[in-house]
Structure formats: structure tokens, C-alpha cells
Structure 1
Amino acid sequence: MTRRIALERARAVVGSRWFRLTVRVVIGGGVLVAIVARVGAGPFLHGLQSLNGAAIGAAVVLAAIATAAAAWRWQLIARRLGVGLGWPTAVGMYYQSQFLNTVLPGGVIGDVQRAVGHGRRADSVRMAARAVAVERAVGQVVQLGIAVVIVMLFGAEFEGVLFPAIGVVLVVLAVAAVAAAWASIRVRRVLRHEVDELRAGLGSPAVAIQAVAASVVVVCCHVATFAVATFAVGIDVPPLRLLTLAIVVLLAASIPFNIGGWGPREGVAGWAFAVAGFGAAAGVSAATLFGVLAILSVVPGVIVARLASLITRRSHRDRQALRDPQLRDLPRRVPRQRRPAEARPLERSGLRSGG
């Protein structure tokens, strides 16, 4: 009995949100400490000092295109699941979720907030969360597929590490899913339900093609932003080599064990640039500037989205006030009565009656 209680408590601790957040922060922070111990703080400072107006402007434009495409992908899938939303609303919420993902640990808190906010508007938090999960899964799968193709074509030196790592992760996930399904009928039902929901979200070939196309646009914009960061820090890399390096770094950026995106991204960037012959310090500098640009590029969109939300709420309240019978039937303000015209000359001359 004591052992069972201990196991239940341990399971509750491991499954808690604070434990997962702590693990992500510890791993991400540990990676950053290891990078500083390896290459020093100089590459980080060089990346920050390379920030300039041209790089920020390019990043803002690329982020706007990527956000518009991602919001369109989310809108398509949400509509298929019966919790549709307007594209302008989707763009604003996506900007806010990206900002939270880039400044908070784990890189998923913004998506959770987006799912909850959409669910409250659509009166179905569960289906809204499903739409966000499917939308992010499609983006990750497309990015992984692009990475495999690019590395096979142009990054032979990375195949010996990247492909085994991807294979190990996929095998571990598959074995865990099969073992859990074999051990529990409830898990089998959950997995079957997840597959059905995924099929529902992408059941139409037209929707699937559009979602994949939007995901390709998003990946291309991120690759271009990394190229901007690489050029800004003063590294001259041939286009195809830069494409491969950017894809590898983006894969690392999707690892959830980070602090606001920082950690594995810089570590893998240092390793990839070193393998490619450009030095680990160059990769860390490029990844550092890329991380800064990722934050700054979504700030204008967040500001615009918040202002638009406030204006929309205020106009909605005004319309409700006009529809309210109690407010509509209030008597109009009586204008102040003017004094008789014949009294005005007396007032101008300073005379008063009875003076």
C-alpha cells in the first residue's frame, strides 16, 4: 500500500505542469551554461552588437508573412473541426502566442493561451485546443520533412548525427505509444480518438494541401530570417550551405527544452557551424541574433493586435449600450435656457436690477 501511494505521488509530480516547466528550464539553462563554458560570452555579445535597423526591418516583414500563413493554416483546421474563426482574429492571436512562446520557458505557453482564448470565444475549449495541436503538428511534420530532404541533398556531413537522432526519437515515441496501447484499453481509445481528430482536421485533400503549403511558407520565412542574422553578424556562407545550416538550427529550435527558445538552438548552431567549417562561435553569434530578431519581429504585430482588440471591444460596448432599453429611453439632456435678449445690454454695462 505504501509503495502504491509513493508511485501515485511520483506519477502526480512527474505529470504536473510545474515539474515539466522546471525540467525544461533546467535543461535549457544547462545547455546555455555549457555553451558559455565552451566558447565564452563573446559570441553572444557579438550577436547582440550586430543588431541593426535593416535586420530588424527584414525580420518584421518576414515575421508578418510567416504569421499570416500560420494563421491561415490554423483557420483552415479550426473550421474543419467546427470552431472556425476569422483570419484577422487568427493573425492577432497568433502574434500574441508567438511573443509568449519566445519570452517564456518551454515555447508552448503561447499556444496554450491561444487555444484557451479561442475556446472561450467558440464555447469549446477542447475542440479549440485540438485545432491548435493539429495545426502545430502539421507545421512540425512539414518542417521535419523539409529538413530530411535538405540534409540528404546538401548536408552529407550532418547525416551521421541528425538522422540517427531523428530515428531514435521516432522509435522511442512509437515504442512508448505501442506499449501504452498494449497495456491499457483506455490508452488505445485515446490514441484512436487522436487519430480520428487528426483525420477530421485534415480529412479534406484540399485542406491538407493548403495546410502543407502554408507550413512551407512559414519554414521559408524562418530560414530567410536566419540568413539575415547570419549576414548581419558578418559570416559569409554559400547559399546552399546556409540553407542546410538554417534547417538544422530550426530543428533544434523546435526542441521544447529551452528558456524562451534559448538553449538547444544555440548549442546545435555552434555544433553545426563548427562541422561545416565556420567555427562554433560564428554559429552561436548567428543563433543569438536570430533569437533576438524572433522576439523583436513580433512586437509590432502584438501592439497592433492589442490596439485592434481594444477598439473592437469598445465599439462592441457602445453598440450594446445603444441596444439597451434603459440607456436608450433616458431623457435627453435639456439645453440651458438663454436669458432674454433685453437683459443682455444691462449685463454688459454692469447694471443689475435693484442696484
Structure 2
Amino acid sequence: MNTTLLKWIITIGLLAITSQMVHLETVMQTLLSASAGAIVTAIAIQTLSTFLAAYRWSLIMDSLQFHESYRVYLASYYKGAFFNQALPGSIGGDAVRVLEFGSMGYRKKEAFYGIFIDRIVGLVGLLLLNLGANLYSGALLPSWLFGLINMIALGGIAGFALLIVLHKFSFLSAYRITNLLSELSSRFRQVYRGKKAILTQLTLSVIIHFLSIVALYEIARSVGMDLSIELFFVAVPPVFLLTIVPISLAGWGVRESAMIGIFMLIGASKETILSVSILYGLMLIIASLPGLFIWLSGKKLV
């Protein structure tokens, strides 16, 4: 079965199941009552997050000997975000970025490595943020969920450390499949050859996800959701982790189901949580629209 078709089926199925769990009329009323000012604030915060994410990616690509200006990376990042959020089809945002740098004369394989590293360091930043929030306010979640999230976070961080040193095992280069891991590890080492690079990019990753969660919190405030921001830093990262799994279109369906499941554990209204998730998804589409302008205009912001 075509992968895109399967994602459509999963997305529609999850949204259909979710809709059966709530009163849709209440959800619609909540959506219409949202404060425009808070949503604009959320878009501004998400935009700042995107600018920082593009900067982090530029640092990675520079270390891999890609010599372009920050504006080129920002333009490409926006185009990728637009394809991911607003045009979830057979070609994803990461593929768009690989093809674009290939058209500039760079090796597509090296562009892929740079984008993959960017994804991984972003994931580790999310895990670090979640781990820190859990240690600070872990009592807000059931103990079993607290333990599970911490195990996943520690496992992911350990995996990141392993990728940096994996190239030292020379036997990996003897086989085609493992050689790919060895090459990837070499690129990780090239990017993170010093503590400063690691600390800088992990700090950026934490800040980027911090801003995304604050943006979601602002959307929650826009519909009158009265929960502490500490709770969002504990509950939202697991949702983000689940939406990274590419089984639906731009995370739709997965995000809504996960948010309802997690926030119900702390007594939040299903209708309100679903409204927040829908508004957040729409906000991500709006925030990615500069990518449409750049794509249509054919500009690289140079």
C-alpha cells in the first residue's frame, strides 16, 4: 500500500476515533471563542523557534563543509516546514531540503547526514527538557508514566552519545548496512568534535522546544484553559515525541489522541484539550506559510 495513502487512513481513523470521545459542538464553541491575541503571540513565539532551529541547522551544515549563508538555511528550513505541515504528501520537508542542496551542487548524501544530525540533536534537546521538567515537577504525572518517560529520555540521550563514538569500531565499515552507521557516526564526530559545539547545539535545541511548548501554552490560554505552565513542560514533550513517529500526516490524529490521553490523567476537559491541539496544528500551518512564499517565488533569501 502507498505510504501516503496509509498515512491518510491512519490520520482519518485516529481523528474519527477522537471525535467519538468528545462533544463536537462544545469543541466548535471552544474553537470559536479562542482569543486572537493569544494565538498571534503563539505564532510569534513559534516563528522565533523556527529562526533558532534554522540557525542550529546552519551550524551543523557549516561543520560538514556546506558554505551557505544563514538566510539560505532559513529559507530552506521554512520550505521544509511548509511541506511538512501544509502539504503532507509523498515528499516530506526533509526530502525537499536534501533535493534543494543537491541542486546547489552538494552531495545529497552529505545533505541527508546534516539533516539527520539536525533531527537527532533536536530530539535530544526535547528529551533533556522533558527529563529536567520531570525531575522538577514529576509528581504531576502518575508514577508509571513518570518512570516510562524518564527511561525513554535516558535511553535517547545514551543513543546520542553512542552515535558520536560509534565510528571508532572499525569492524562496522566491513558491511554495507553497518558502514552507513559508521559514516553517520563520523559526521556526528565531525560536528561535535568539541564540548562547545555539543553544549551550544543542545542548549539551542532545549530553547527551541521550550518556545514551542510556550506557544502551545499560549494557545491553551486563548481558550481559557487554566493549568500551570509547569504542567505543560511535563505533559507536552511526550506528545511531541509521539508526533515525530511518521505514521500520520503532520502528526494529525496522533497529537490529538496523545494530548487527550495524557491531559485526561490530570483531569483536563477532553473538549478543551482537543480544541487546543487543533488550534496548535493550525498555528503550525500558519507559521510555515513563509515557506510557501519562498517556494513560489523561487527565492533563497540570499
The alignment covers a number of residue pairs equal to: 287
Name which of structure 1's ranges 240-249 and 122-131 shifts more when overlaid on structure 2. 240-249
1:212 pairs with one of 167, 180, 202: 202
Letter in 1 for 2:209: V
Q: Secondary structure at 1:38's aligned position in 2?
A: coil
1:245 pairs with one of 235, 249, 268: 235
Distance 1:107 1:242 in 2: 33
* Alignment pair present for 1:130 and 2:113: yes
1:65 pairs with one of 45, 48, 53: 48
Note the C-alpha offset of 1:271. Answer: 1.2
Change (3 A) 1:42 1:151: farther
- Tell whether the 8 Å contact from 1:56 to 1:296 is kept in structure 2 after alignment: no
Alignment map for 1:35-54 (pairs within 5 Å): 35-42=18-25, 44-46=27-29, 48-54=31-37
Alignment map for 1:314-329 (pairs within 5 Å): none
Change (3 A) 1:43 1:94: farther
Tell me which residue corresponds to 2:212: 222
1:270 pairs with one of 260, 270, 278: 260
CA RMSD after TM alignment: 3.1
Change (3 A) 1:43 1:287: farther
- Tell whether the 8 Å contact from 1:77 to 1:131 is kept in structure 2 after alignment: yes
Change (3 A) 1:311 1:301: closer
1:161 pairs with one of 145, 164, 180: 145
- Tell whether the 8 Å contact from 2:39 to 2:218 is kept in structure 1 after alignment: no
Q: Deviations over 1:32-60 (max 9, x none)?
A: 12111222434652454244431342133
Tell me which residue corresponds to 1:197: 187
Change (3 A) 1:168 1:239: closer
Which protein shows a greater Rg?
Answer: 1
Q: Deviations over 1:174-227 (max 9, x none)?
A: 9xxxxxx99x93322222222222222322332222211221221011011101
Name which of structure 1's ranges 150-159 and 81-90 shifts more when overlaid on structure 2. 150-159
Unaligned 5+ segments in structure 1 are: 1-12, 175-180, 313-355
What percentage of aligned pairs have identical amino acids?
Answer: 21
- Tell whether the 8 Å contact from 1:77 to 1:207 is kept in structure 2 after alignment: no
Tell me which residue corresponds to 2:100: 117
Tell me which residue corresponds to 2:7: 24
Alignment map for 1:282-293 (pairs within 5 Å): 282-293=272-283
Letter in 2 for 1:160: W
Note the C-alpha offset of 1:254. Answer: 2.2
Note the C-alpha offset of 1:275. Answer: 0.5
Tell me which residue corresponds to 2:246: 256
Question: Higher relative CO (CA 8 A, sep ≥ 6), structure 1 or 2?
Answer: 2
Letter in 2 for 1:287: S
Change (3 A) 1:37 1:298: same
Change (3 A) 1:159 1:24: farther
Distance 1:300 1:123 in 2: 25
Distance 1:30 1:216 in 2: 33
